[in-house]
C-alpha cells in the first residue's frame, strides 16, 4: 500500500497514489492550481506538492485544529492551508484571486488520528468525552446535542444518517437515560445503544451506526459535501479533474448522483429541427470508479469501504 505518515502520527492515506495520479499533474498542468479539500495529516497534499512545478499552487482545507497544526510543518511557498470546511471553497478561492483550478481532491470521512484519540469522542471503543466535532473550536458537541434535542429528532437523525432500523428505540433509551444522568461519555452512549439494539450485525458493534449518524449530523457532513461538489464543479477549469473518496453509502450516493447529473443531458424531442451543434452537451466526463486493492485493505482495514470517483470538466462546446 502507498502510505505517508507524519512523525508521531500513524495515519495511512487511502488511495494515495491513485488519487493523486487521477489529478493528472504533469506537463503544463504541473504549474496549475490544485485544491485538497481535506488536509487531514497531509498525505495527499505532500504527494501533490511532489508533482507540482515551481509555479504550481496547492490550497488545502481542514476544519480540525490538529490537522491545521500538522499543516504548519509543511514549509513550502506553493502551499497554503485554510482553517475551514471545504464547503467554503468558492469564497476562499475567490478571496485569493483564484477563479479556476486544475484539480480538486475531496477525501471524506474522518482520519485515523481522530478515531484513535479518545478525547475527540468519535470512537465507541475508547472511553472519552462525547464530543465528535471535527472543529473543536466551533459548534455544539454531541453531548450537548443529545442533552437538549427531542426524542423524535434524535431518532430521525439516527435513522436517516445511520440507516439504523432500531433508531427510535435507541432515541427512546437515550432520552430515558438523560432524565437520570447526563450522557457525557462515549462508552456510556455505546452501552445505551447496545441495550436498545435487539439484533446485532455480524462483525459490527451495535453502536457503529448510531455513532456514524450523530457524527455526520453534528458536523453537517452531507450538507457540506453537496455545497463543496457544486463549488468544485464551478471552479474547475476545462479538462480539470475532480476526485472524491467516500467511505459510506450516504456520501457515495450524493457524489454519484451529482457527477451523473453533470455528465448527462436531457435530450430534446428528435422531431424538433435542432442542429447537432446546438444540442445540449454534458459538462463532466466520468473517468473512473475505484476501490482500494486487496493489498491496501490488508495493510489498512479502514480502507475497505473507500470508493473513489473521478470526473473531468469538459471544455466549452463539448470539445474533447
Residue positions forming the annotated binding site for S-adenosyl-L-methionine: 42-44, 62, 86, 107, 114
**SS3 breakdown of the chain: % helix, strand, coil, rounded to 5?**
45, 15, 40
* β-bridge pairing 101-107 and 33-36: parallel
The H-assigned helical ranges of 237-313 are 249-263, 294-299
C-alpha to C-alpha distances, 227 to 17, 109, 135, 233, 258, nearest whole angstrom: 26, 16, 18, 10, 11
Binding residues, by number, are 42-44, 62, 86, 107, 114
C-alpha to C-alpha distances, 105 to 35, 36, 188, nearest whole angstrom: 6, 5, 36
Burial (CB count within 10 angstroms: exposed 0-12, middle 13-18, buried 19+), residue 204: exposed
The residues, any chain, with a CB within 8 Å of residue 115's CB and separated by 6 or more, are: 122, 123
Residues 73, 77, 82: CA angle, nearest 5 degrees: 65
Helix and strand counts by DSSP (H, E) for the chain: 13, 7
CA atoms within 13 A on the CB side of 92: 22
**Residue 129 three-state SS:** strand
End-to-end Cα spacing for the chain: 33
Tell me which residue of 126, 86, 152, 135 sits closest to 211, measured CA to CA: 126
Tell me which residue of 222, 287, 217 sits closest to 248, measured CA to CA: 222
Q: Which cell goes with 129?
A: 468525552
Amino acid at each position: 500500500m502507498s502510505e505517508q505518515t507524519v512523525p508521531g502520527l500513524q495515519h495511512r492515506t487511502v488511495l494515495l497514489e491513485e488519487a493523486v495520479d487521477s489529478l493528472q499533474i504533469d506537463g503544463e498542468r504541473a504549474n496549475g492550481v490544485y485544491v485538497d479539500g481535506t488536509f487531514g495529516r497531509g498525505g495527499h497534499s505532500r504527494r501533490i506538492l511532489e508533482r507540482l512545478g515551481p509555479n504550481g499552487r496547492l490550497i488545502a482545507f481542514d476544519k480540525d485544529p490538529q490537522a491545521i497544526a500538522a499543516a504548519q510543518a509543511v514549509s513550502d511557498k506553493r502551499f497554503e492551508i485554510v482553517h475551514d470546511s471545504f464547503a467554503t471553497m468558492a469564497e476562499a478561492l475567490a478571496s485569493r484571486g483564484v477563479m479556476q483550478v486544475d484539480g480538486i481532491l475531496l477525501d471524506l470521512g474522518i482520519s485515523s488520528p481522530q478515531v484513535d484519540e479518545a478525547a475527540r469522542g468519535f470512537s465507541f471503543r475508547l472511553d472519552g468525552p462525547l464530543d465528535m466535532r471535527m472543529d473543536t473550536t466551533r459548534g455544539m458537541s454531541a453531548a450537548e446535542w443529545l442533552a437538549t434535542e427531542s426524542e423524535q429528532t434524535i431518532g430521525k437523525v439516527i435513522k436517516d444518517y445511520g440507516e439504523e432500523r432500531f433508531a427510535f428505540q435507541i432515541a427512546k433509551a437515550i432520552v430515558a437515560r438523560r432524565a437520570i444522568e447526563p450522557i457525557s461519555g462515549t462508552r456510556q452512549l455505546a452501552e445505551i445503544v447496545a441495550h436498545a439494539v435487539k439484533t446485532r450485525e455480524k462483525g459490527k458493534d451495535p453502536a457503529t451506526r448510531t455513532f456514524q449518524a450523530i457524527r455526520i449530523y453534528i458536523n453537517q457532513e452531507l450538507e457540506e459535501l453537496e455545497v463543496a461538489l457544486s463549488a468544485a464543479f464551478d471552479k474547475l477549469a476545462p479538462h480539470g479533474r475532480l476526485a472524491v473518496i467516500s467511505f459510506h453509502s450516504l456520501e457515495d450516493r450524493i457524489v454519484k448522483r451529482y457527477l451523473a447529473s453533470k455528465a448527462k443531458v436531457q435530450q430534446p424531442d428528435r422531431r424538433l429541427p435542432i442542429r447537432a451543434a446546438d444540442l445540449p452537451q454534458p459538462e463532466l466526463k466520468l473517468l473512473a470508479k475505484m476501490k482500494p486493492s486487496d493489498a491496501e485493505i490488508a495493510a489498512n482495514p479502514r480502507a475497505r469501504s473507500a470508493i473513489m470517483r473521478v470526473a473531468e470538466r469538459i471544455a466549452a462546446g463539448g470539445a474533447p
